[in-house]
Structure 1
Amino acid sequence: MCRVLTSPGARYRRDSHHVRTPVAARSRPSRGIIAFLRTLQGPTTRRRCTEVRAHDPERRLGAAELGTGLGRRATLVQFSTAFCQPCRATRRTLSDVAGMVDGVAHIEIDAEERLALVRELGIRTTPTVLVLDSAGRVVTQASGAPRKADVIAALGRAV
């Protein structure tokens, strides 16, 4: 059984049970449904977004902080965690780019094991990628899974 909704000035349409209901009431989902759908959409959208931030030009990272030596021309530093699904795709992308460009190294750091460095650099999400020049200066910091073209463009600024 349908409920009759009335409001002043509403346009009505007859449904199959010959009950007049406002057209606007039939076509809009409830606010609860919209909020629920937005929460489902949030993680999917967040995974695809990449936030690029400029970094302190005086800050340098070396072998002591990273655990291994820097690349001859540039270094791609990835902060990730064990259960981060976008981190796996980021690892493949950065490895491909490091293999394509001579003198570029890819270093992956577990954010849980190096928490002091993560806090010092202000890293809030994984994956986070730092692009370092040959001297270890942070040129670009990007949060989220980057595309290969974005990584190559960031390397262009570092080299």
Structure 2
Amino acid sequence: MQNIFDAKDVQQYIDRINLLTPEAQQKWGKMNAEQVLAHLNVAYSMVFEPEKHKKPSFIAKFLLSNFVKPKLTNELPYKQNLPTSPAFIISDERNFEEEKKKLIGNIQRVQQLGRIAFEGKEHLNFGKINAQGWNNMFAKHLNHHLEQFGV
């Protein structure tokens, strides 16, 4: 598992993102390249701008933290064509370069904040997550969608 808190690993993600083009064809899924970049940015928005997102009810958060969180924070890769949470569905057109720049900035921000900033950090939907869980969640999500586009 790559380390999103390590500058070298982050640069490898950035290099892969820079290989992505607006014309890239996905191997699976419905979103085009700019929509996937926007989709990836939602995860960071939930961390850095939680006020922009609807908070789950107590019951929903209980279910998410006990049944979804373990699958997102472990080291097993995501399977293709998994259902997407409504908050992550991007169906409108986006600006490829703006979304790419934003994603790279988000990845760099996480790396610069470092592991300590994410140790026990609260997630809007899942409650507290340790730094390794945050790492796994971000790394798996990035890898899944970059592989979706062959980069």
TM-score under structure 2 length normalisation: 0.22
Which structure has more RCO (C-alpha within 8 Å, separation ≥ 6)? Answer: 2
TM-score under structure 1 length normalisation: 0.22
- Greater per-residue helix proportion: 2
